[in-house]
Every structure is written in C-alpha cells, then in structure tokens.
Structure 1
C-alpha cells in the first residue's frame, strides 16, 4: 500500500474530506435507526480514519484529463463507510440502503437548476464527442499500460428502435479492480447502486441490466432524458 496520496488527489483532499463529513451528517439519523449504532462520534472518527487509508489506495488514472478521476473522487469514500459498517456487523443490504439514501440526500443539496444543467451537458452532442474520444483512448494498449487501474469502455450508438440517446459499455471497471486488490468485493455492488440516483437527480434515466461486479462481461449503461412529471 502506498504511504502517501497522489499529488492530484492531495490537491483535492479538502473537498473530498468535506464531502465525507457532509455524508456522515446526512447519514447520522439513518445509522442510528437502521444500523442501530449509537456512538456516532466514534463512528465518524473511524470512517474518517478509514478514508485516510482509502486515499492512499486510490489509483491515479490521469487526473483532470480523465473523466474517471472524478468518479473515483466522488464515490471511493463509500468504500471507507462500507468497511467500517461491515466491521460493526451491519448487513450488506442495509449498508447499501443507507449509502444510497445518503448519497441521494447529498446530491439534492445542489440546486435543481444546477443539477439539471449538468444533466443536459452530459447528454449534449459536445459531451458525446468527448465520450467517444475517451472511450477509444481507454481501450488503447498505451493507455492501459500507463493506467492499468483505469476503466475500459466503449461508446454505444443507438440502433433502429432503441429509445436511449447513447450508451457506455464498461469492459473493465476501476472500482472492481480496486475492490479485488483491497478485499472489498462483497461491498462493491453497493457502490454500483449509487449510479441510478447520481443520474436521476440530474434528469437522466439510467437503464442497466448487468454489471461486471455481478459477474457479467460488461456493465451496460444506457442513458436517456428522464421524463418530467
């Protein structure tokens, strides 16, 4: 295990720690009710200590030029939460429910207009061009040699009769690699479950019927605009 954080992550350390503290604030009531934990000060400290370990374990996948760096920075902290709750005997399904409820609450602290604007940008033709380029790059031998812990994915164009705007097939997952390396495979599906709210709160419908974590050959993400009420 590395003893220090990568400089890129160290640069964003303050923001990541603040996000973790906010999650713990939002999760406190649920942790008491669903996980039956009472020493919340102790749990907070234990999670933040574990997060320090996770930070040293985070793989560098290209920094600001890679869209997947943001995925790691936003979601890897849930590995720390999961590890601590598992040590306290909280069942995996309960951990998943707590994390998803907490993440959704955190996402909803962002103003709706800002969230929906982010969703429109994600679905935009300009972003699809970028996704195609990064998908092609992710599959190159040179990129995989330089960043072996990165995601590998294909951009999927809709065919006749398809209702989605575009898709992404992840053939290798950075979180799966991380989990396999650090003994977190059993908590990995809970991380996958966070994706649905991450997109829905931005006005995007995600359809996904299989995951690498579930034993499939790839994760099949399909994106479309979420129907308004």
Structure 2
C-alpha cells in the first residue's frame, strides 16, 4: 500500500495543522459562497482527502530543493478543490474560496515577519541561490519537479528579477491525478503569497493556461 514519503512524514504534523487552520478560516466563505451547510462534514472530508494527497505528493529533493516547500504549503488546496468539486461547487467559486482563505491564513502571520520574509526573498543572496537552483533544475533529477530559468532584467524593465517556469510540478501532478480543472486555482494563490510579503508579482501567462512557460516578474511593493 502506498505511503507518504519519509521527508513529508517528518512535516506531516505541521501540514495537517495548517490545513485545519485553513479550514477553520474558510468556514464563513464555505457557507456564503459555496452554499454548503454541513461544514463540519466538509472539513472532515477535506482532511480525509488531504491524507490521499500526502501520499500522492512527489518527492523533489526534500530540504535541498526550494520547490519542496511549495508542495507542502499549497498541495492541500488540491484536496479542498477535489472535495468542493464533488459537492458541485462551481469552479470560479472554488477559486474565490481558496484565494480568500489563503490570504486570511497568510495574514495570521505578523506583518513584520511577513515583510522580513519578503525582503529576504528579494535579497541579492537569495537571488544568487535562485540562479543556482534554476541551473540545477535543468538536470531534471526528479521527473515530477519544476524546471525554470532565472531572468535578469534588461534595460528599461520595471522588475528586479524574474523566473520563467518551463515545467511545473503542480501541472504534472494535476495531469497525473485528474486535477486539471482545479489546477488554475493553485496558480492564483501566488499573487496573495507574494503581496502579503511586500512583493509585487506580475505574470501574464501560465503553463496551466496553455503557455510555453509561466513568466514570474518580481519587484518590491511601495510601503506606506
């Protein structure tokens, strides 16, 4: 019988706690937007589905890969999307619920901590790490991983740096597990993830939308 990868097993408690918090924050929107009444039953169904997702999550290098964190933070939304889809919730509503819930969860982190995380992400040291990991991603050591390029701004560009994702782990996961309908909602979460840390993300295309790559462009949001 398939089991959760040992790397994810070590983080299982934290991931499950984050999912429970997420579902608690989602209660109001589930009632108002999804028109669901048995919220406790829905929450348990999502947690049960999350156990399946944990087993399905691909290993992409563990702590040595920045993309492992992406899977651990966001793959739970696949479980939410699956359950809401089974209950007949329209796809645009699922997207709204997931985006609002994720933003609410992100904002539970103190602002100073979030902004410090954003400054670290934009730092020259992290950009150096991103260049290194982008180059390494092309080795495709793990078939279900992301493949991406670091993008330097050209003269006149209004961003500090960019990342072009040529292959997406979430797209591969969705294609392999029948989640392609709910995949775009995962893409939509990126804007909240960066904005709450003081980072402006500009992106005009995605692999999930049929483009050749996802064109992430990062700059700092002006602080008041």
TM-score by length of 2: 0.99
Query: Equivalent residues in 2 for 1:61-80 (5 A)?
Result: 61-80=60-79
Deviations 1:90-117 (A, max 9, x none): 0000000000000000000000000000
Deviation at 1:3, TM superposition (A): 1.3
Instruction: Tell me the C-alpha RMSD between the 2 structures.
Output: 0.6
Distance 1:155 1:108 in 2: 28
Which residue is 1:111 aligned to? 110
Q: 2: distance between equivalents of 1:221 and 1:40? A: 36
Displacement of 1:181 in angstroms is: 0.2
Give the deviation of 1:228 after TM superposition: 2.0
Please list, as runs of the form range in 1=range in 2, the aligned pairs for 1:209-228 lying within 5 A after superposition: 209-228=204-223
Q: 2:146 aligns with which of 148, 151, 164?
A: 151
Give the structure 1 partner of residue 17 of structure 2. 18
The number of residues matched between the two structures is: 224
Which residue number in structure 1 is paired with residue 202 of structure 2?
207
Give per-residue Cα distances to partners, 1:31-84, cap 9 Å, x unaligned: 001001010111011000000000000000000010000000000000000000
In the other structure, the counterpart of 1:161 is 156
Residue 171 of structure 1 and its aligned partner are, at CA, apart by 0.1
SS at match of 1:193: helix
- Structure 1: segments with no counterpart, 5+ residues: none
Corresponding residue of 1:47:
46
Once residues 110 and 228 of structure 1 are traced to their aligned partners in structure 2, the CA distance between those partners, rounded to angstroms, is 18
For 2:183 and 2:51, the matched residues in 1 are separated by 19
Tell me, in whole angstroms, the C-alpha distance in 2 between the residues paired with 1:138 and 1:171: 10
**CA-CA distance at 1:198 after TM superposition:** 0.1
Q: Report what 1:5 is aligned to.
A: 4
- For normalisation by structure 1, the TM-score amounts to 0.97
- Which whole-Å CA distance do the structure 2 matches of 1:98 and 1:227 have between them? 27
The equivalent of 1:186 in structure 2 is 181
Distance of 2:42 and 2:71 partners within structure 1? 23
Question: 2-side partners of 1:190 and 1:93: how far apart?
Answer: 9
Which blocks of at least 5 consecutive residues in structure 2 are unaligned? none
Report SS of the residue matched to 2:164. strand
Runs of 4+ in 1 over 4 A off after TM superposition: none
**Partners of 1:165 and 1:192 in 2: CA distance:** 21
Q: How big is the shift at 1:227?
A: 1.5
